[in-house]
Amino acid sequence: MGDFRSLRVWQEAKQLAVQIYEATSAESFSKDYRLVSQMRGAAVSVASNIAEGDELDTNKQSVRHFHISRGSLAELITQLITSNEIGYLSAEKSEALVKECEHISRMLRKLINARSK
């Protein structure tokens, strides 16, 4: 605990946030400020809660934050699917980002299991 930047799951979550910022900078999102804000907030929340959780004193506290990160990933997946269905994101881009969210969620589940023992 305490060196969150060395956690691969944090590194991938941080990169996902960058990808979400890039994707939501597209012209198709230009007038949907609320959706852009929600997507960016959820994406940043994933990496932020991993970092915060890893810095806390107990595994119980850490695990709680890792679960919050998983919730933010579910929120982001919903927003990505919606963005595709309303024409803001291509199917290919949406699917790639959803797969990355699912991958990070699986990594978090393993981290949660390890820290819960």
Q: What is the pLDDT of residues 4-31, one digit of tens each?
A: 999 999 999 999 999 999 999 999 999 9
Start-to-end C-alpha separation, the chain: 14
Q: How far apart are CA 91 and CA 11, in angstroms?
A: 25
Q: Using the predicted structure, report yes or no on whether residue 95 has a pLDDT greater than 80.
A: yes
- pLDDT given for residue 2 in this prediction: 66
Q: Using the predicted structure, report yes or no on whether residue 44 has a pLDDT greater than 80.
A: yes
User: Which domains can be identified in the chain, with CATH numbers?
Assistant: 4-116 (1.20.1440.60)
Question: 37 φ, ψ to 5°?
Answer: -60, -45
Q: Percentage of residues in the chain with pLDDT exceeding 90?
A: 95
pLDDT classification of 117: cutoffs 50, 70, 90: confident
Q: How far apart are CA 67 and CA 94, in angstroms?
A: 23
